[in-house]
Amino acid sequence: MERRQETSGNAHHQIRGPRVPAGGAGARDKKRAAIIEAAQAVFLERGFANATMDLIATTADVSKATVYAKFSGKDELLTEIVASAAGRIGQEIDRHTGPEEDPRTRLTALACRYAQVLFDAQTIGLLRLVVAESHNRPDIGRRYLEAGPLPAIAHLTSALRELVDRGDLAIDDVDHAALQLVGMVQAKRLYSLLDPSLLPSEEEVTATATADVEVFLAAYGTGDRTPHGSRRPATGREKRQKRQ
């Protein structure tokens, strides 16, 4: 895996054929990265079936022959993109959160991070792409799952287990609990998947995630931190957003 990523000024559209390789050695990898980037953009914008190799080549500022020199075909391009993008998403989630001592703040931070990533427009777009193709190419769906969602949920599970061991949570089935939390956080993802214009705002996402953590804590929190009398922390802290 020699991913190049290279987000900087990659000669977006140089008007006329100034072959800019210049780098000599790195030129090859640069073209390769440009092709991947272009393919991702085109796939995300038009879907796999409606994406043409000509457009990908044009977008990458590269001849079609070069595309086929570096990739065996459209399929390989797709798998390459799924692997790299899903991995990037997984990494984004995997970044360590500060070792908050308060379980509520820790969980809220975790949930908000998940929510932000899950509702990122690019994440949604990639997911749509993968879902669309996973029927005809089971390996694609599997690969995405194993590079993104599965590690992410595993990460959350281990975080929960840590809190359980510390006595901050009381959970029988940690795996399922993680799934429940993620389920709540991503409940509206289906909407965005079906109609991109319904993608919620950043504030809405974090507000929802925060409220979800409260439900989670009501079920699994040990009473240690919240006053004995009220079953829920009284929610005086914030208004728990009203409209959706």
Contact predicate 139/57, CB 8 Å: no
- The pair phi, psi for residue 243, each rounded to 5°, is -70, 160
Which partner from the list a second copy, DNA, none does 28 bind, CB cut-off 5 to 8 Å by kind? DNA
Residues in region 17-46 near DNA by CB under 7 A: 17-19, 21-22, 24-25, 27-28, 31
> Considering only CA atoms, which of 227, 107, 233, 232 is closest in space to residue 163?
107
* 197: contact with DNA by CB under 7 A: no
Distances in Å between the alpha carbon of 42 and those of 60, 147, 183? 10, 22, 30
* 121: contact with a second copy by CB under 8 A: no
Q: Which residue of 65, 165, 194, 236 would you call a contact of a second copy, by CB under 8 A?
A: 194
* 62: contact with DNA by CB under 7 A: yes
Would you say 27 or 190 has its CB closer to a second copy?
Answer: 190
* 219: contact with a second copy by CB under 8 A: yes
Phi-psi region of 200 (alpha: psi -120 to 50; beta: other; left: phi over 0): beta
Residues in region 145-164 near a second copy by CB under 8 A: 145, 149
Locate 82 and state its tokens.
Answer: 């799924």
> Considering only CA atoms, which of 216, 40, 202 is closest in space to residue 119?
202
What minimum distance in Å lies between the beta carbon of 80 and DNA? 13
Determine the length of the chain: 244
Distance CA 199, CA 202 (A): 9
Contact predicate 39/77, CB 8 Å: yes
* 230: contact with DNA by CB under 7 A: no
* 150: contact with DNA by CB under 7 A: no
- Of 60-68, 91-99, 101-109, 169-177, the window that binds a second copy (rule: CB under 8 A) is 169-177
Q: Applying CB under 8 A, which residues contact a second copy?
A: 46-47, 49-50, 125, 128, 130-136, 138, 141-142, 144-145, 149, 170, 172-173, 175-176, 179-180, 182-188, 190-191, 193-197, 208, 211-212, 214-216, 218-221, 223, 231-232, 235, 240-242, 244
